[in-house]
Structure 1
Amino acid sequence: MTSLRRIALIGNSLPRRCGIATFTTDLQRAISASRPDLETCIVAMTDRGQAYDYPPAVAFQIKDDNVEDYLRAADFLNAGRFDTVCLQHEFGIFGGEAGAHILPLLARLTMPVVTTLHTVLANPSAKQRAVMERIVDASSKVVVMANKARELLRSVYLVPDDKIEVIAHGIPDVAFAGPDVAKVRLGFGGKSVILTFGLLSPNKGIEVMIDAMPSILKHRANAVYVVLGATHPNLVRDQGEAYRESLMVRVRALGVEDHVVFLDRFVDQATLLEFISMCDVYVTPYLNEAQMTSGTLAYSFGLGKAVVSTPYWHARELLTDGCGVLVPFGDASAIGGEIAKLLTDDPRRQEMGQRAYAMSRMMTWERTAERYMSAFEAARQGHRLKVFARPDSGAPEPRGPAAPDMQIGHFMTMCDDIGLFQHAVQSVPDRSHGYCVDDNARALLLACALNNPGEQALPEILTTRFAAFVQHAWNPDIRRFRNFMGFNRTWLEDRGSEDSHGRTLWALGEAARGDASPSRRRWATDLFAQALSTAESFSSPRAWAFMLLGLDAYCTVAPDDLHAREVRHALADRLMSCLASVETPDWVWFEEGLAYDNARLPQALMLTGMTTQTPQYRDAGLRSLRWLMTQQTSVAGHFRPVGTGSFGEQRQHPRAFDQQPVEATATIAACLTAWRADGDAEWKTMAMRAFGWFLGSNDLSVALVDPHTGSCRDGLHPDRANENRGGESVVCYLLGLAEIRQLARVNTSLNKPTALRAVGA
């Protein structure tokens, strides 16, 4: 499947003055910057009676009260062959009762939709509930910015957890700086500055903060409260500037007119950041607990400001662990007291700001865009699986043991500051055998798999170590990867096997496509290109298969690499030639015997056939995998991987032992690839059967995994399980588990109860 090329966002857009417009514009820019080959645009919502000088990024606009505009927008998006649409939802920005005009647009779209819900109501009206449920049903993924919103989606709207992504509100990535320089530049030198920013409206609690000023001035006579922002356009339309004028009357009545400054401006981002930079304390005195997100709070937090806030939902989640101060709603005495304490305690205020800045580094727009891109990829994959599935086949969904939670405790134990150890003595890492690039490449594959929505990504430092191991394994003198390294960090060879080189290329290809870090994606792309040319001369069919798996990923991010495309066809043709020369009616295979990672050969052909639209590759992969599954199924019907005792034997039914996790993992992946290739639900059943081998559905009825730690025994002997739990085994189990958990998410989406889908229809 090719990588995402065209993404459209639906929502308000600058220069319209509102928080949704700012968010949509910032998100579009961040997504566009995440990849140089990505095209993005905005379908902008235009409110009644208004006209805006939209920038070129706005490709289409919808007048919110014109139903025909919504339908024309859907036709525009479909004709433009956009890969994904990202909808920004707030009830007030769409026309119709509860914003229902957006529903016909969603119903006409042919691509997956990822919806960001900027408001999730705990007590919606009947119409609001109906509209929300239909929007959620039309969306492949829904994004919220607070865990409270996730809880409400699950409890109030019955949205499956695996459909929900929590992605923090993005923030600009700027350096931490003190306020003094900006104060002088903006004319507030020598002042203790308290700041509120945003469109003025009665729910912002500005009155409460004004009432708190006399008590603050008793402790800090040079304090000034800056209220930066224009009055909300809807308020101006209905009431003019009556609200702003009432605030100014309140200021004069309290005698604090020299200490409260109203700046009636809607500022651009650079100006806003300068104002935030100059403040000593940022305050959000909102009156409504149900404020799900606040962009101004996120920005101030991200610039390392001490924040005092009422405990609305977003603030409660963000301002934890000493990163801010919460005060009761509408309590001028409390808010004044806390601000006064901060203004008179420089070390505490500075420590609070530094803590907030450090905690916010995961919220930068670059990271937020990465999370959105992962959600888009998962949405498109789910959409693609729906196309391949046969909803009218009548085949029952596969049944088997429930997939355990993803636990990486043992995996973490098997890693040190070099990378992943090869072996273990029971559950204790065995340093005497050191490391290998094979296992660290597998670990890099796992890191990419756990970037998928619904999984917890590996710690960044671990992924970096696996990448560093692969980089260090590269021997530029002979353009080959080394494999084995001793615990003393000494390489034991100048080159590894062809298979280890091929497997490393596979991991690099997946990292080029799916690593969380744009920099590592570029690194993986470059190293893959360097290491590919040497591997063209390899003679190992498994190395060819691993390379094809890597090429399937690499070619999505480097579609203009004509040489890689040529190599992909050449390798697939070699596998086809092997099959043609060996295959007989009772031996449908590529070699005279069966060995390890067998299912990767048909998987590689199927993937290549689908992505290059070469049916003969796909069909050969399906045919050989069907035969392999007859060899890997016991008389009792459970999965029985090819045992190591079979290695070297020719045209013999495989021996039962020893059985190893690598075979189960390869089979799971190959069967799910086959399901995507021809839509036969029986492939899902076979994938579940192979995964059941880990959980005890095997020849010895012995579970190989500890679901609490995620450890996996090294295999099955004729009389017992191998109690050692090495690196290859744990990674293979976790990779297989990730595949099955993804399958479960797709099945949940495809089999959502009709009663839930029909609500509000």
Structure 2
Amino acid sequence: MKITYIATYPPRECGIGTFTNNLFKSMLRQNEQHEQTNEGFVVALNDNELTYKYPEEVKVTIRQDHQEDYLKAVKYINLSGADVCILQHEFGIFGGQSGVYILPLLHRLEIPLIVTLHTILKTPSYNEKAVLKEICKMACKIVVMSHKAIEFLTTIYDVPKEKIALIEHGVPDIHFSPEKSKKEFKLEKKKVLLTFGFIGRSKGIETVIKALPEVVKKYPEVIYIVLGKTHPNVLRHSGEEYRIFLLRLVKNLHLENHVVFLNEFIDEQDLFKYLYACDIYITPYLNEAQITSGTLSYAVGVGAAVLSTPYWHAAELLAHGRGKLFQFNDSDDLANTLTELLDKPEEQVKLKNKAAEYGRNITWPKTGEKYVALAEKIVKDERPVPAKKETEPDLLILPPFSLAHINRLTDDTGIIQHAKFGIPNLKEGYCLDDNSRALLMVLMAYKQMKDMRALELSPIYLSYIHYMQNADGTFRNFLSFNRNFLDEIGSEDSFGRTIWALGYLLANAPNDAYYQTGKLIFFNAAPNFESLKSIRGIANTMIGICYYLRSNPSDDSMTERLRNLANVLIKHYTENQSPGWNWFESLLAYDNGILPLALLHSAKILNDDKVTQTAIDSMNFLTQHTLKDNYLSVIGNEKWYKKEGERSLFAQQPIDAMAMVLMYHEAYFVTKDKDFLNKLYTSFLWFLGENDLRMSLYDFETKGCCDGFERYGVNRNQGAESSLAYLISHLTVLQAYEEFHKSDLRLV
């Protein structure tokens, strides 16, 4: 049997890495007792761009925050001949919100999956719960290390109990003489208290230090050893603040001769010498939320006398006389318990014997044997036949999201509408259309990625919109580079796109100041909504109203305005529909996907079957004429596509591809049909070369998007409209990608 392991791994200093290393060795070693031979390899997680000199069993590495690495890793696993995959799960070791980056890897895995859960939260966030539930759905078996973990999985995460296997944390089968260990460390005349593991505020070491003055009054030979480095995450964010606090506490309590800090991550041989040398082992964690503790398992495994606060794992592992408990953050209780135990050596012996008896059953060879048996059963009895999977975004070919070109086009007035190649064309000035699109894009980027540059750009575009609004609520569109108005009233399309951006702002405002400004502009414009005549202006306005109503569903008057506008679109559809022509006009022109998109948005609010059906029918008609041979062929703007005429192939523009991406994205939310995610991604690939000319419009050097296709080829100018269309589409793909892997999450 060939096994692949996904986890952190030594020499990275991480408890899960140590666990995985022991599991790897124990499963291979265990099988030497059988005729067949196990083999395996490791896929290791790196953190914060660090690299490590891994042993030969590590065949692939994943940079924690690089999505493409996860996809490369799963391709390697699927081609490796591995029979089963064992994943060590802890939220903090995988990239993305709540470790979501691991989901696409697991979705693409073509071999059975066993997941070992090291953390199971009692009160998870919405995303944490959704991610863990998705992982549990994909796993053939879920391994936990305590009965409390089983309770949480079944009651909080809805995991079937029969899917869960209890295999307790393994303990290295290492033995030393307590007397020789004490002598080696020159501790023969000391009563040794010990805590080991990564150091951080939650470990409660100050509770032990505060208890020592009372203990050393009676037992001056007591020494407390704190063995372990500051946790890497704590070190990055807070430095050695906690360790310094502890050192000051020791000094203030005059315990310099009774407390020793060993700031090391030592190997298991030396660690076990310290465990055998200690008289009493202490885990003083500050709260109950610890479902698994490897350090506690080690202490029990070697037969130490253990004192602990009653966190979940400790309350379970130390039951039946295997240890004693004291209250959280209660130094007096600990001092009394320590003194009582030191007063009664025979009680220490009882605790040690009980722990040692239990520890003999959780050595790594025995734990490895249980994992091997579990894996063999899954491979033999439960190996699934690989099902045909839905096409999904392949982030390996997505360029990194970048605002570089948008920064280049933006000054303190707004975004310049045109460019010569990748250079802003100042002669053309600014327009409302593009500043509204830009506001929408940066709000999406900030919401999804918390991109601070996007947040910094948003008031520039919002203030442009405010500046261009007329007293009657309408908007001018064009502004020269020297800030002269170039029109009195802009197009209805530009009006609608502005309402869309403002509606999105009202639903997703990053702060109250932006919300209040957006609300003022939005409602100043509102009296003009029902006087619109352009169906694209109407459609864009409807989308903005829908976003507004998502956060203000009780606004009945705005809901009625939405209904009236939807009826206008349906009237156009009814008047122009004929056999084989399910559309709103007698031609397919520009920005076509916006029309079904507006009705799809409205369908969720109006609950009107006619709205929904018109949206679906018109979308299917548009799909029929633009998605062929598994790529998007946008209706060209040279002559468009008149009913009973020939469609125009050239002058294809990015806003049309963006409209298709957004349309399929919304269609998925309305119908829950994952085929629309496939169509969404196919439409996005138009930007990257899956198109009629087989040429990429995205410029990997400038990070801008070319303005479209002409008969001669790609129009290399990279104006605001095309670049914003690409970025909005890119963000939508990322949003859909996350939705695909967290199907029970509703992302706006």
- TM-score, reference length from structure 1: 0.52
- Which secondary structure does the structure 2 equivalent of 1:658 belong to? coil
What SS is found at the alignment partner of 1:711?
A: coil
| 1:580 Cα deviation from its structure 2 partner | 0.5
Matches within 5 A, 1:443-458: 443-454=438-449, 456-458=451-453
One-letter amino acid of the counterpart of residue 676, structure 1: F
1:530 counterpart residue number: 524
Q: Which moved more, 1:484-493 or 1:574-583?
A: 484-493
User: Which residue number in structure 2 is paired with residue 561 of structure 1?
Assistant: 555
Question: Bigger shift: 669-678 or 434-443?
Answer: 669-678
What is the CA–CA distance in structure 2 between the aligned matches of 1:625 and 1:513, rounded to whole Å?
Answer: 26
What corresponds to 2:738 in structure 1?
745
Q: Which residue is 1:493 aligned to? A: 487
Q: CA deviation at 1:531?
A: 0.7
Equivalence map 1:688-707=2 (5 Å): 688-707=681-700
Q: CA deviation at 1:704?
A: 0.9
- 1:566 & 1:452 partners in 2: Cα distance? 29
> 5 Å matches for 1:283-322?
311-313=230-232, 315-319=234-238
1:550 to 544, 549, 554: 544
Q: Rate the CA distance shift 1:199–1:656 in 2: closer, same or farther, 3 A.
A: closer
Mapped pair 1:724 → 2:726:
no
Taking a change above 3 Å as real, the CA distance of residues 439 and 313 of structure 1, as seen in their structure-2 partners, is: same
Instruction: Tell me how large the CA RMSD over aligned residues is.
Output: 4.3
1:669 matched to 2:671? The reply is: no
Q: How much has 1:469 moved relative to structure 2? A: 1.0
Q: Do 1:405 and 1:707's aligned partners in 2 also have CA atoms closer than 8 Å?
A: no
Counterpart mapping for 1:1-80 below 5 A: none
| Aligned match of 2:101 | none
Bigger RCO of structures 1 and 2 (CA < 8 A, at least 6 apart): 1
- Per-residue CA deviations over 1:245-297 (Å, capped at 9, x if unaligned) read 679999xxxxxxxxxxxxxxxxxxxxxxxxxxxxxxxxxxx97878xxxxxxx
Partners of 2:421 and 2:716 within 8 A in 1: yes
The answer to whether the 8 Å contact 2:201/2:242 transfers is no
1:137-192 Cα deviation digits (max 9, x unpaired): 9779xxxxxxxxxxxxxxx9xxxxxxxxxxxxxxxxxxxxxxxxxxxxxxxxxxxx
* Aligned partner (choices 198, 202, 205) of residue 203 of structure 1: 205
Give the structure 1 partner of residue 570 of structure 2. 576
1:479 is matched with which residue? 473
Cα distance change, pair 497–651 in 1 and its aligned pair in 2 (3 A): farther
Deviation at 1:467, TM superposition (A): 1.0
Q: Give the direction of change, closer, same or farther, for the CA distance of 1:101–1:600 in structure 2 (3 Å limit).
A: closer
Counterpart-to-counterpart distance in 1, 2:643 and 2:601: 27
2:402: which partner in 1? 407
2:447 aligned counterpart, secondary structure: coil
Matched, 1:604 2:622: no
Written as runs of structure 1 = structure 2, the 5 A alignment for 1:25-174 is 127=145, 131=149
Whether the aligned pair in 2 keeps the contact of 1:287 and 1:330 (CA below 8 Å) is no
Shift of 1:518: 2.6
Instruction: Tell whether the 8 Å contact from 1:113 to 1:138 is kept in structure 2 after alignment.
Output: no
User: Shift of the alpha carbon at 1:533?
Assistant: 1.1
C-alpha distance in structure 1 between counterparts of 2:388 and 2:672, whole Å = 11
- Asked if the contact 1:657/1:718 (under 8 Å) is kept, the reply is yes
Cα 1:137–1:719, aligned 2, differ >3 Å: closer, same or farther?
A: farther
Cα pair 1:434 1:485 within 8 Å, conserved? yes
Following TM superposition, by how much is the alpha carbon of 1:553 offset from its aligned partner in structure 2, in angstroms?
A: 0.6
**Structure 1 residue 334: deviation in Å?**
13
Q: Distance in 2 between matches of 1:560 and 1:651?
A: 45
- State the aligned residue count: 442
Structure 1 residues 689 and 116, CA, compared in 2 at 3 Å: closer, same or farther?
closer
Q: Which residue of structure 1 lines up, in the alignment, with residue 414 of structure 2?
A: 419
Q: Helix, strand or coil for the counterpart of 2:520?
A: helix
* Inter-partner Cα distance in structure 2 for 1:481 and 1:136: 56
Residue 460 of structure 2: aligned partner: 465
Distance 1:319 1:559, change over 3 A: same
Structure 1 vs Structure 2: percent identity of aligned residues?
25
CA-CA distance at 1:669 after TM superposition: 0.8
2:443 and 2:455 in contact (8 A); partners too: no
Cα distance in 1 for partners of 2:697, 2:201 equals 59
Displacement of 1:126 in angstroms is 5.1
Q: Which amino acid letter does the alignment assign opposite residue 127 of structure 1?
A: M
Decide which of 732, 735, 738 is 2:728's aligned counterpart: 735
Q: Distance in 1 between matches of 2:246 and 2:671?
A: 62
Matched, 1:644 2:637: yes
Cα offset, 1:698, TM superposition:
0.9
CA pair 741-335 structure 1, distance change in 2 beyond 3 A: farther
Q: 1:249 & 1:654 partners in 2: Cα distance?
A: 95
Paired residue secondary structure (2:419): strand
Q: Partner of 2:437 in structure 1?
A: 442
Report if aligned partners of 2:582, 2:618 keep a CA contact under 8 Å in 1.
yes
Q: Judge conservation of contact 2:130–2:744 (CA < 8 Å) in 1.
A: no
- CA contact under 8 A between 1:451 and 1:515: conserved in structure 2? no
Matched residue, 2:59: none
Stretches of structure 1 that go unaligned for 5 or more consecutive residues are: 1-85, 87-97, 118-124, 141-155, 157-197, 208-230, 232-241, 251-285, 291-310, 337-393, 753-761
Q: Structure 1 stretch 714-723 or stretch 422-431: which is displaced more?
A: 714-723
> Aligned pair in 2 of structure 1 residues 700, 206: CA closer, same or farther (>3 Å)?
same
Q: Which amino acid aligns with 2:699?
A: D
2:448 and 2:227 map into 1 onto residues whose CA distance is: 31
CA–CA distance in structure 2, aligned partners of residues 548 and 248 of structure 1: 77
2:617 to 612, 617, 623: 623
Amino acid at match of 1:317: R
What SS class does the counterpart of residue 702 from structure 1 fall into?
Answer: coil
Whether the 8 Å contact between 1:420 and 1:440 is mirrored in structure 2 is yes
Distance 1:99 1:549, change over 3 A: same
Contact kept, 8 Å, 1:203 with 1:288, in 2: the verdict is: no
Q: Deviations over 1:37-65 (max 9, x none)?
A: xxxxxxxxxxxxxxxxxxxxxxxxxxxxx
1:203 to partner: Cα distance: 0.8
Answer whether contact 1:668 1:691 (CA < 8 A) is retained.
yes
CA distance in 2, matches of 1:592, 1:200: 68
Q: State whether residues 498 and 540 of structure 1, in contact with CA within 8 Å, keep that contact through their aligned partners in structure 2.
A: yes
Separation of aligned partners in 2, 1:668 and 1:511:
20
Amino acid at match of 2:557: H
What letter matches 2:608 in structure 1?
Answer: T
Deviation for aligned residue 1:549: 0.3
Distance change >3 Å, CA 740–CA 725, structure 1 → 2: same
Change (3 A) 1:703 1:128: farther
Q: Secondary structure at the match of 1:421?
A: coil
Q: Report the equivalent of 2:297.
A: none
Aligned-residue offset at 1:668: 0.7
Counterpart residue number, 1:23: none
Cα 1:325–1:627 shift into 2, 3 Å: same
SS at match of 2:732: helix
In structure 2, relative to structure 1, the CA distance for the partners of 1:439 and 1:114 (3 Å cut) is farther
SS at the partner of 1:680? coil
Contact 2:131 2:742 in 1 (8 A): no
1:415–1:398: structure 2 CA closer, same or farther, 3 Å change rule? same
Aligned CA distance change for structure 1 residues 569 and 115 (closer, same or farther; 3 Å):
closer
Distance 1:486-1:318 versus aligned 2 partners, 3 A rule: same
Q: Return the alpha-carbon distance in structure 1 between the equivalents of residues 250 and 204 of structure 2.
A: 20
